[in-house]
Amino acid sequence: MNYVVISFSHKSCEIETREKLALDSDAKKTALLEKLVCYESINEGIVLSTCNRVEMILSVSNVYDATQFTMKAVSQYSGIEYYELEGRAEIFEDEGAVHHLFSVISSLDSLVVGESQITGQLKDAFRFSYDRGFCAQKLSRVMHYAFKCAAEVRTSTSISENKVSISSVAVDMAAQKAGSLEGKTALILGAGEMSTHAIRNLAKHGVKMRLISRDYNKAKEYVKGFECDLTPCRSYELQAQLNRCELLFSATSSPDPVVTREMVEEQNFRRYWFDIAVPGDIDEIDVNGVDVYKVDDLKEIVAQNITQRQRYAKEAFKIVGRYTVAFFKWLEELSVEPLIKQIRLQADEAIQKELQRCLEKGFLPKEYEANMEKAMQNAMNRFLHNPTKFLRNHSEESKTDTMIESLQSFFSIKDIDSAPDRYKCEHETK
């Protein structure tokens, strides 16, 4: 079994490519996962789709075969040529895959280093896959360690101090561009986590806000969670509000643009619009006085963020490296211990059979049974002591898998890698 991560992120793909790659609905995620896990070389899968990355996290039996199939599947659903994808994908295997996953969930690979959303997004992606049967023991194990790693990075470093997100960076950029946000009015499209971050940061600047979401009743409930000037509006008010507000922050899950050129009228004040959705919410707009910024346009503020957090990131990467090593050590021990248990069970079964044969044949008086059983078990324990010690001592070496397979065959032990409950990820059903 091998781990593979195929990553398309802000580092290798511009936003137009990420928009095509985005899995922006449960139906699209389900269709891709069904296709992947039905393939003979892929055992389990998780897909992560955010504004800055699309990743396939896989447990596979054949790395090359599984990677080729996954790339072809991505090409089919995205409409991007296979060879273009090949030039943009980052492909990680085994230790590299686990280290990358731990770095991502710890927000070390994010556009905004230290941002607070990625851990939740990965938890949601894992839960989505687990609940639908697309992943089980193998990916649960690595996700278990990933969440523990992210928690230690947060508690042991200051990388998430003054937590930031794409939304908060967009608000900072709006303040830079406009000079001041005080007294301005902002329109918020969408009522998800991105909008929540934007609203909280805009409230610090004293901005008056209007919120439009698909469901007006849900929008009314949503705004009750904020102590600021935030008013829900109905969907049909979108055009009017677009032409009334100086600021726009859009983060819906719509697969198509929700703001089109036909809606926009020229005004005698400057407007700053931030499209932080992938796929984008704002169509191509070329209107005097309207400046549209997308996720990739936030990089100048992101660069400042990276500089401020480099010291913390260095410390965090040490934690990620330590957890990567610890995970594989733990994984190898999981493989060795069930094997040792099965060998000892076979030895105990042999003792019991031989003991009963001796009693039935009259070779051993009944009153000696307990003492003889103890002596036979002591002898078997002594015999197995050195082989058991050898297995445990060498469980970290690369040859362990081959050795385990040979011993499984030698002792006729089948599939010791069944999913024991004690190794389940504690996050998988939360």
| 8 Å CB contact between 380 and 351 | yes
Among 120, 106, 86, 113, smallest CA distance to 6 is for 86
Dist. CA 77–CA 213, nearest whole Å: 28
Indicate the burial class of 337 (C-beta count within 10 angstroms; 0-12, 13-18, 19 or more).
middle
Active-site choice (13, 38, 51, 149):
51
| 8 Å CB contact between 54 and 21 | yes
Instruction: Give me the DSSP letters along 43-68.
Output: EEEEEEE-SSEEEEEEEES-HHHHHH
The DSSP call for residue 399 is T
Residue 51 annotated among the catalytic residues of the structure: yes
- Grouping H, G, I as helix, E, B as strand and the rest as coil, residue 229 is coil
Cα distances (Å, whole numbers) of residue 297 to 7, 35, 248, 305 = 21, 35, 15, 14
Residue type, 358: C
Q: What are the residue numbers of the active site?
A: 51
